[in-house]
Structure 1
């Protein structure tokens, strides 16, 4: 789960209607946000989502976690959750500082506020790399994993619109399975949260 809050567009529109004029105009023109998100993903994200950096990072973690039981996952997730908001957070900091998380932050920065967050998951739904800290370590019980890694044939999964009250952002998550180019099989998943105010 992301740290992004999940209030609905109806709430944010009542409070911050003027800020969402582009989105409102798109709705008035009959354009579903999913069409715009899909187009942006295909034009700007699809190639680097398949990059060797991501593939190798997911493969490497799968080599470690493929034998993990649900009890192992729950333990790691509980440890992560306990560190959220703490000064000492060795598990979270190790994730934030790893090579793939640095790669994801570069992609987020290059997108000039279009990308709010990126999460790369392994074959168990656990974080491999994150552009910003998440509230939990295991994403395997969420749609971002269940509708991608577990249903790779469904293609890109674009979630509902959400509102982040701290930053007043309207966002939608684009989620995709990560496919091993050598086998054609899913090895993980990726979530990219997009700023619809800029789309």
Structure 2
């Protein structure tokens, strides 16, 4: 507990301290995430949801996000259950478990920034208005976004997020993105 308090005090008192985690997050991405981020099951799940959501308007996306936010406390509701019970979500939970505390969460997004699969409930469904999506999917293949370390609303842990564009291996086009939350303590 003392280490968490010390880490929290440092993060809150010196904003530039968060940048000290960037090299460690980059190394974690290269060592632990890059090998499986474009897993065929993840790619297939994104492509299927992109097909299913091809005609969504921005209003419909925002309605889905509002419904998600209103039901965060009840993961059995149809919208949340569809994401959390997706077979890829089981794989993501297994990866979080296997990381022995290093990963706090993993979620996959479609071309709109909507959750496709997630290891845990996220605070919202639509990530499309956030840097984790805009600076990955929005910038195309090979794009990466590494956040500053901060207290995450969903996990209630100090974490950095590593987000990577997911690419269709057949076309080379961006089809979605993945975000991996990494516990800041695990980087020390």
Short-chain TM bin? 0.7 to 0.9
Match of 1:68 in 2: 56
Residue in 1 aligned with 2:144?
A: 156
Q: Distance in 1 between matches of 2:70 and 2:153?
A: 23
1:198 aligns to what SS in structure 2?
A: helix
Match status 1:16 vs 2:5: yes
Q: Give ranges in structure 1 of 5+ residues lacking alignment.
A: 1-12, 22-26
Task: Give CA deviations for 1:134-169 in whole Å, capped at 9, x if unaligned.
Answer: 121111011111010001367221001102589773
Q: TM-score, normalised by structure 1?
A: 0.81
8 Å contact 1:66–1:124 — kept in the other structure? no
2:39 is aligned to: 51
- Aligned counterparts, 1:50-199, within 5 A: 50-86=38-74, 89-152=77-140, 155-164=143-152, 169-199=157-187
| Paired residues of 1:19 and 1:197 also in contact (CA < 8 A) | no
Structure 2: gaps spanning 5 or more residues: 11-15
Does the CA contact (< 8 Å) of 2:137 and 2:165 recur in 1? yes
Write the distance in 1 (CA, Å) between the matches of 2:56 and 2:7.
48
CA–CA separation in structure 2 for the residues paired with 1:87 and 1:43: 32
SS at match of 1:76: helix
CA contact (8 A) 2:104 2:181 kept: yes
Between the aligned partners of 1:87 and 1:181, the Cα distance in structure 2 is 32
Greater relative contact order structure (CA < 8 Å, 6+ sep): 1
Paired with 1:144 and 1:18, the residues of 2 have a C-alpha distance of: 23
Q: Is the 8 A contact 1:147 1:154 kept in 2?
A: no
TM-score (norm 2): 0.85
Query: What is the root-mean-square deviation of aligned Cα atoms in Å?
Result: 2.8
Matches of 2:71 and 2:98, distance apart in 1? 29
Moved over 4 A (4+): 18-21, 164-168
